[in-house]
Amino acid sequence: MNESTAGLGRRAFLGGALASVGGLALAGRGDAQAGSEQGRNPFVYHFRIGEIDAWSISDGYMTFREPLGLMWPEEGRGAMREWLESRGEPLDRMTMYINVLVIRIGSEVVLFDAGFGPRPSAELGWFVEEGLRQIGISPEEVTAAFLSHAHADHLGGFVREGRPTFPNAAFHALPEEYAFWHDKEPDFARSKRAKGPLPGMIRQVRAEFEVLKPVYQPVRDGASLFGGAVTVEAAPGHTAGHAIFRIRSGRESLLHLMDLAHHHGFMFHDPSWTIEFDHDPELAVRTRKVVFARAAAERTRCYGFHLPWPGLGQVQGLQTGAARGLDHAGAHVLGSWLRCLASSHSCRRAMPWRAFTRGRQPVASWKARVSET
């Protein structure tokens, strides 16, 4: 997925996160931190996965006008509109958050995608400039970096001024992703995205891969690293080599969904709804159903790159009637959002929404309920 055209400013980021919060139940754990109100203002949320320290750092957000125009199939847009209207969601814009996950495993500092990188925009590029600094980590301290796929909002932050942003980090990606972008003519025939910008997009991806070539270490589907703490899983469809990541420590785990969902409602309400940025929409749907089904069955804690910051939540299965089982790849999965607030009593900074939260910094979270019919 790539950069949008219109931003709403920092207050809109905060308002959008809160607008995607339904009930006001307090949930979650960890502590949230907010940066200076001067210049860029990343948002940093600390939590744990067993013994692993983890941070969700916002790299900003993108706002798209006429969101239904991005969604497919075209004949499903009436149902999509009904879903938005029934929940008071805006019809004239759609915000996609950019959440970068950072973890520390002993002496290893590992990140999963790197956002856009520094940009001349108040809405983008918070992660590299300020986010890491706030948690006391320099780019030189990052030891491993995983790429889910090579769209600009995921790859761009890995390169800065013609050099790797994280010079001491091994750069991991599935070989299928690398091969797709280096094919003589990358195949976008199934994608609904506009074809005009593709040549420039391909050139940019190849140029960034060339910068990262000295540190590129391909990983295969199912590869387990750091003593089993991180497992790479192929999740193709959004791109040919799109990957998701499972992080484990002790009895706890986190599944990073990456771009299996671009919105807190659409792909969960009906996983057969796709977005124009998918390279192979039909494959993306099959992959999404399998992953969501397993996440629901195993009650896995999940993290979403584009879901309301900090991107943490859970997919829950609802059995209805004689369900065939949520792990069926062809099952029609329906769902609706239950959303909540997480708050931290440790944050005492004056934020734009202070009056609403009575001094506590809210963190939008999500929970999707899926049922099979």
Q: Residue for token digits 């295969």?
A: 220
Is there a domain that residue 2 lies in?
Answer: no
pLDDT at 356: 20
pLDDT class for 1, splitting at 50, 70, 90? Answer: low
In this structure, are residues 83 and 76 in contact, taking their beta carbons and an 8 Å threshold? no
Q: What is the pLDDT of residues 136-166, one digit of tens each?
A: 999 999 999 999 999 999 999 999 999 999 9
Of 343 and 294, more confident:
294
pLDDT class for 129, splitting at 50, 70, 90? Answer: confident
Of 12 and 361, more confident:
12
Which residues, at least 6 apart from 82, have a Cβ–Cβ distance to it below 8 Å?
A: none
- Is this structure's pTM higher than 0.95? no
Query: How many domains does the structure of the chain reveal?
Result: 1
Statement: residue 37 has pLDDT above 50: no
CATH number at residue 314: 3.60.15.10
Is there a domain that residue 22 lies in?
Answer: yes
Statement: residue 176 has pLDDT above 50: yes
Statement: residue 117 has pLDDT above 60: yes
Provide mean pLDDT across the span 283-310.
Answer: 95
pLDDT class for 122, splitting at 50, 70, 90? Answer: confident
Is there a domain that residue 224 lies in?
Answer: yes
In this structure, are residues 339 and 22 in contact, taking their beta carbons and an 8 Å threshold? yes
Statement: residue 242 has pLDDT above 80: yes
pLDDT at 345: 25
pLDDT class for 359, splitting at 50, 70, 90? Answer: very low
Statement: residue 189 has pLDDT above 80: yes
Q: Residue for token digits 């060339």?
A: 210
pLDDT at 188: 98
Q: What is the pLDDT of residues 313-339, one digit of tens each?
A: 999 765 443 222 222 222 222 222 223
Statement: residue 368 has pLDDT above 80: no
Q: What is the pLDDT of residues 54-67, one digit of tens each?
A: 999 999 999 999 89
The answer to which of 83-87, 285-289, 310-314, 369-373 has the lowest mean pLDDT is 369-373
Structure token pair of residue 298: 């195993």
Is there a domain that residue 305 lies in?
Answer: yes
Domain of 315? 10-372
Statement: residue 107 has pLDDT above 50: yes
Statement: residue 14 has pLDDT above 90: no
Q: What is the pLDDT of residues 206-232, one digit of tens each?
A: 999 999 999 999 999 999 999 999 999
Strands (E), the chain: 31-34, 43-49, 52-65, 71-72, 93-105, 108-112, 144-146, 159-160, 163-164, 170-172, 224-225, 230-234, 243-249, 252-258, 274-275, 301-304, 310-318, 333-344, 361-372
Give the chain's end-to-end CA distance (angstroms, integer).
31
Give the chain's mean pLDDT: 80
Of 323 and 201, more confident:
201
pLDDT at 134: 92
Provide mean pLDDT across the span 270-276.
Answer: 96
DSSP class per residue in 174-232: -HHHHHHHHSSS---TT--S-STTHHHHHHHHHHHHHHHGGGB----TT-EETTTTEEE
Of 35 and 81, more confident:
81
Write the DSSP symbol of residue 309. Answer: T
Is there a domain that residue 1 lies in?
Answer: no
pLDDT class for 299, splitting at 50, 70, 90? Answer: very high
Of 9 and 338, more confident:
9
Which residues, at least 6 apart from 159, have a Cβ–Cβ distance to it below 8 Å?
A: 117, 165, 208, 211, 212
Is there a domain that residue 4 lies in?
Answer: no
The answer to which of 133-137, 146-150, 237-241, 353-357 has the lowest mean pLDDT is 353-357
Statement: residue 41 has pLDDT above 50: yes
Statement: residue 370 has pLDDT above 50: yes
Statement: residue 174 has pLDDT above 60: yes
Is there a domain that residue 101 lies in?
Answer: yes
Is there a domain that residue 135 lies in?
Answer: yes
Single-letter amino acid, residue 204:
Q
Q: How far is it, in rounded angstroms, from Cα 195 to Cα 152?
A: 16
